[in-house]
Amino acid sequence: MANKTFFVGTCFDTIQPGPGSRDDGSRVTINGGSSTNFVECRMTDPETGEHAGQAAAWFHLTWDYATASNQSNFYPIQVYKAGDTSAPVFRFAGVSGGVWSAQYRSGDTFTEAGTFACVNDKCDFLIDIPQGTIKVYTNGQAALVATGLDLSDLENLATLRLGANRSYNEDCGFSGILIANYNTIGHVVSRKSPNANGVNNAWTGTFEDVDEGRLDDTDNVTAEGVGLKQGFTGPAFPAPASGSVVKAVVVATRARNNGTAPPLNIRHYLRLNGTDHTTAYSHPQIDEGFNPLFTTWDLNPETGRAWSSAIEGDVEFGMEALA
């Protein structure tokens, strides 16, 4: 099976803000004090750009909170199926003292797959509906392995919702989020913001309007015609560790339209060594409010093969305005 990356993110350029949440440029933080505070990571099929459910997925994130404390009526990690965010199909439920219960939906109730400890750790978990398997790893070590489960009521996996741990003001932070069909243990998410305009420079505004690490929708660039492209360059990514490879490259944008006259849409592109590589699809979910949009390249569009151990050569990333 070919590698597919369904979500990559650390900030609100790919993560959907929710109540009681903020973005500081290196992670998203959910305010403690309410079980209804959350952000969402919406899984996208990289081949179509559509928000779509999957039968199995690995989830990777770094989870930060102040103390080894949690409450039984708080569920900081929940997974929802496609088209339904009224009730989760999987969740981590607080037990006590940094111990969590992994629970999956079975009819109208939840069944426990097992418990595990996690405090300020890197956490990876696998949900495989056809295989009836749930696994949880903390810092790369197996913390929970449950097999032979009846996961048929989960149906599919489409949205990861991240929230708070407690009913009083203890913030909960998440960063380096990755959702994929491959084992995510040991992976690292690197992010960069623009620091210069690219060769394509046809929108109103400059990189200085979009170079913030954290969310700021008051500062933006604007396309005033269909077919116009705006690109940027940024600082070099950190070199991958020896023996590591680049699994995917993502271009992300917070975008809106004016709801009436074109351009009303965009598609992302990567410019590699002088050639623009645009996606075959646009983003029909754009409307009159800013929302995160992202496009994932699991293969190097210049070669059609897997990425190498580094993103080499001249790289520009940006958007093209569409009708």
66-103 pLDDT, tens digit per residue, is 666 667 778 999 999 999 988 999 999 988 878 899 99
Is pLDDT at 310 greater than 90 in this prediction? no
Higher pLDDT pick, 118 / 91: 91
234/236 Cα distance (integer angstroms): 6
- State yes or no: pLDDT of 64 exceeds 70: yes
**pTM for this predicted structure:** 0.95
pLDDT, position 256:
93
* Tokens read off for 235: 């600082």
pLDDT higher than threshold 70 for residue 268: yes
pLDDT in the model for residue 171: 86
Is pLDDT of 297 > 90? yes
Asked if 47 contacts 64 with a C-beta cutoff of 8 angstroms, the reply is no
Instruction: Average the pLDDT over 126-130 and give the result.
Output: 98
Above 80 in pLDDT, residue 167? no
The Cα 93–Cα 79 span in angstroms is: 12
Structure confidence by residue, pLDDT tens digits, 183-218: 999 999 999 899 999 999 999 999 999 988 778 888
Mean pLDDT across 223-233: 96
Pairwise CA distance, residues 210 & 253, whole Å: 10
pLDDT of the residue at 247: 93
